[in-house]
Amino acid sequence: MKKRLLLLIILTILAAAYVFPVVLTIVNSLRYSGSAFTLRQYGEFFFTNHTAMLYFWNSALYAGAITAVSIIVSFPLGFLFAKVRFRGRDALFFVFVVVMLLPFQATLLPNYIQLRDMKLLNTPLALMLPMMFTPFAVFLYRQFIAAIPNELLEYATLETSSVIKLLRHVVMPQLKAPISALAVLIFCESWNMVEQAIIFASEAPDIMPLSVVLTRLPEDVVFAGATIYMYPVLVVFLLFRETLQKAMEKFRW
């Protein structure tokens, strides 16, 4: 019994340590040049640096659009890799996996060349298009669709010959939780975008997401900015905590 209590105490301390940077950020956002508890930083953030919120909405636009498009576009591809047999399927999927695992710096030049040739550099599309086709979404979809029993799909194909109906009314309802988990992951990933913006939009300061602008704000308001920037993620986390956990338990090749 004593051992259990000790374990509980140790784990509580460690869990607190993991959350500590968040708490430290919020606590620091409530201070302003010496005074202990004040909303002055937020005032400075919203009014003195009144353009800061514009960048927040840039971030929201990018993260929202990237999440929506990748969720829709990757869905049939996941089905293709999970349930349709064709020649070269495993090889093609292997390519997706390799690209997914590469760090951003390795795909940086290819992405840059393509965006330059399409004359999209320094436009919002440059920040969204590559991420909309992230192989990660395809990878996760394939995993979750593979778990749907074949018999169910076979049976449904007897009823309808429309693939769209099959995906919409048979596959999709099975995937409600995984899709919300996937959406959360992609949203957080694109909300966290930094390098893409610095590189693909270096000459268009107006279209930067707040994640980039935050590091350039005056030092006495960064903690308020940081708190505001993580607020949507904290909300999403609190809402989808369990869904996310359950979906990720099944995360495998």
Partner 1 sequence: MNNKRFKLKVFALCIPGLAGFIMFFLWPFGKSLWYSFIDDVFHKNFVWFDNYRMVLGNRYFRLALRNTLIFSFVGVGLLLIVSLALSMGLVRLDRRYHFMKSAFFLPMLLPTVSVIFAWRLVFDNDVYFAWMKDGGPLLQTLPIYVLYIWKNSGVNIILLTAALSQLPGEIIEAAELDGVRGLKLFRYVTMPLITPVMFFVGILSFVNSLKIFKESYLFYGTNYPLDAAYNIQYYMNNHFLKFNYHNLACASAIAAIILTIIISLIYKIQNKFTEDVSI
39 versus 235: smaller Cβ distance to partner 1 = 235
Shortest reach from residue 253's CB to partner 1, in Å: 7
* DSSP sequence for 67-115: HHHHHHHHHHHHHHHHH---TTHHHHHHHHHHHHHS-HHHHHHHHHHHH
8 versus 54: smaller Cβ distance to partner 1 = 8
10 versus 147: smaller Cβ distance to partner 1 = 10
19 versus 39: smaller Cβ distance to partner 1 = 19
Shortest reach from residue 229's CB to partner 1, in Å: 5
Cα–Cα distance measured from residue 60 to residue 49, given in angstroms and rounded to the nearest whole number:
19
Shortest reach from residue 234's CB to partner 1, in Å: 8
Shortest reach from residue 50's CB to partner 1, in Å: 20
Shortest reach from residue 187's CB to partner 1, in Å: 9
Listed in sequence order, the DSSP H helices in 102-219 are 104-117, 124-132, 135-146, 150-159, 163-166, 172-174, 176-191, 195-200, 210-213
Burial of 173 by CB count in 10 Å (0-12 exposed, 13-18 middle, 19+ buried)?
Answer: exposed
39 versus 102: smaller Cβ distance to partner 1 = 102
CA dihedral 146, 151, 156, 158 (to 10 degrees): 130
